[in-house]
Amino acid sequence: MTVGRGVTKRPGMTDASNSLLQASRSAVLPTYARADVTIVRGEGCRVWDDESRSYLDFGGGIAVVGLGHRHPAVTEAAHAQLDRLWHASNLYWTEPMLRLAGLLSERIGGAQAFFCNSGAEANEAALKVARKATGRSRIVALEGGFHGRTLGALSATGQPAKWEGFGPLLPGVSFARPNDVESLEAAVSPGGELAAIIVEPVLGEGGVLPLEEGFARAAAEIAREVGALLLVDEVQSGLGRTGTFFAYEQLGIEPDLVTLAKGLANGLPIGALLAREGVAGAIGPGDHGSTFGGNPVACAAACAVVEAIDEALLENVAARGDQLAHGLVELPGVREVRGRGLLLAALLDRDAGGVVDECRAHGLLVLTAGTDVLRLLPPLVITEAEADEALAILSEVLR
Ligand SMILES: *Cc1c(COP(=O)(O)O)cnc(C)c1O
Of how many residues is the chain composed? Answer: 399
pLDDT at residue 142 tops 60: yes
Helices (H), the chain: 15-23, 60-63, 72-82, 95-108, 119-134, 151-155, 181-188, 213-226, 296-308, 311-329, 352-361, 384-398
| pLDDT for the residue 8 | 46
**Pairwise CA distance, residues 76 & 67, whole Å:** 13
| pLDDT for the residue 4 | 39
Lowest mean pLDDT among 182-196, 239-253, 337-351: 182-196
**Pairwise CA distance, residues 303 & 97, whole Å:** 9
What number does the ligand 1 atom closest to the CA of 237 have?
A: 13
Residue to substitute in 127, 236, 270 for testing ligand 1 pocket (most ligand atoms within 8 angstroms of CB): 236
Q: What is the mean pLDDT of the chain?
A: 95
| pLDDT for the residue 14 | 65
SS3 154: helix
**Pairwise CA distance, residues 197 & 147, whole Å:** 13
**Pairwise CA distance, residues 376 & 365, whole Å:** 9
Which residues have C-beta within 8 Å of that of residue 197, sequence separation ≥ 6?
139, 140, 141, 184, 188, 219, 222, 223, 228, 229, 230, 231
Active site residue 128: no
- The closest residue, in CA terms, to atom 11 on ligand 1 is 147
Residue to substitute in 65, 146, 211 for testing ligand 1 pocket (most ligand atoms within 8 angstroms of CB): 146
Task: Compute the distance from residue 328 Cα to the ligand 1 centre, in Å.
Answer: 26
Residue to substitute in 202, 203, 205 for testing ligand 1 pocket (most ligand atoms within 8 angstroms of CB): 205
Task: Compute the distance from residue 20 Cα to the ligand 1 centre, in Å.
Answer: 32
| pLDDT for the residue 43 | 98
Task: Compute the distance from residue 189 Cα to the ligand 1 centre, in Å.
Answer: 28
DSSP character at residue 166? S
DSSP character at residue 212? P
Cis peptide before 332 (omega within 30 of 0): no
Query: What percent of the chain lies above the pLDDT cut of 90?
Result: 92
Task: Compute the distance from residue 250 Cα to the ligand 1 centre, in Å.
Answer: 21
Task: Compute the distance from residue 13 Cα to the ligand 1 centre, in Å.
Answer: 34
In this prediction the pTM is 0.95
**Pairwise CA distance, residues 362 & 77, whole Å:** 34
Domains (ranges, CATH) in the chain? 35-64+311-398 (3.90.1150.10), 72-308 (3.40.640.10)
**Pairwise CA distance, residues 22 & 142, whole Å:** 40
Task: Supply the angle between the helices 296-308 and 72-82 in degrees, to the nearest 10.
Answer: 160
Helices (H), 266-383: 296-308, 311-329, 352-361
| pLDDT for the residue 11 | 52
Residues 366-394, buried b or exposed e (16+ Cβ, 10 A)? bbbbbebbbbbbbbbbbeeebbebbbebb
Active site residue 115: no
Q: Which of 57, 114, 115, 262 is catalytic?
A: 262
Q: Which of 58, 114, 146, 175 is catalytic?
A: 146
Task: Compute the distance from residue 174 Cα to the ligand 1 centre, in Å.
Answer: 20
Task: Compute the distance from residue 11 Cα to the ligand 1 centre, in Å.
Answer: 36
* pLDDT band, very low/low/confident/very high, at 137 (cuts 50, 70, 90): very high
Ligand 1 cavity residues, CB under 6 Å? 118-120, 123, 146-148, 200, 204-205, 233, 235-236, 261-262
pLDDT digits (tens, 9 = 90+) for 5-30: 444 445 555 677 778 888 999 999 99
* pLDDT band, very low/low/confident/very high, at 277 (cuts 50, 70, 90): confident
- The closest residue, in CA terms, to atom 10 on ligand 1 is 147
pLDDT at residue 3 tops 50: no
Q: Which of 57, 233, 256, 372 is catalytic?
A: 233
Residue 333, CA distances (Å) to 151, 302, 348, 367, 370 in order: 38, 39, 6, 16, 16
- Mean pLDDT for the stretch of residues 293-313: 98
**Pairwise CA distance, residues 142 & 174, whole Å:** 8
Pairing between β-strand 229-233 and β-strand 257-260 as defined by DSSP bridges: parallel
Please state, as a whole number, how many other Cβ atoms lie within 10 Å of the Cβ of residue 182: 10
**Pairwise CA distance, residues 101 & 233, whole Å:** 18
Question: Are 50 and 35 in contact, with CB atoms under 8 Å apart?
Answer: no
Lowest mean pLDDT among 36-45, 271-280, 306-315: 271-280
* pLDDT band, very low/low/confident/very high, at 349 (cuts 50, 70, 90): very high
| pLDDT for the residue 12 | 53
Active site residue 262: yes
What number does the ligand 1 atom closest to the CA of 205 have?
A: 15
DSSP letters, 263-299, are: GGGBTB--EEEEEETTTGGG--TTS---SSTT-HHHH
Q: Which residue in 71, 62, 76, 44 sits closest to 297, CA to CA?
A: 76
- The closest residue, in CA terms, to atom 6 on ligand 1 is 119
First CA to last CA across the chain, in angstroms?
A: 36
Question: Are 122 and 274 in contact, with CB atoms under 8 Å apart?
Answer: no
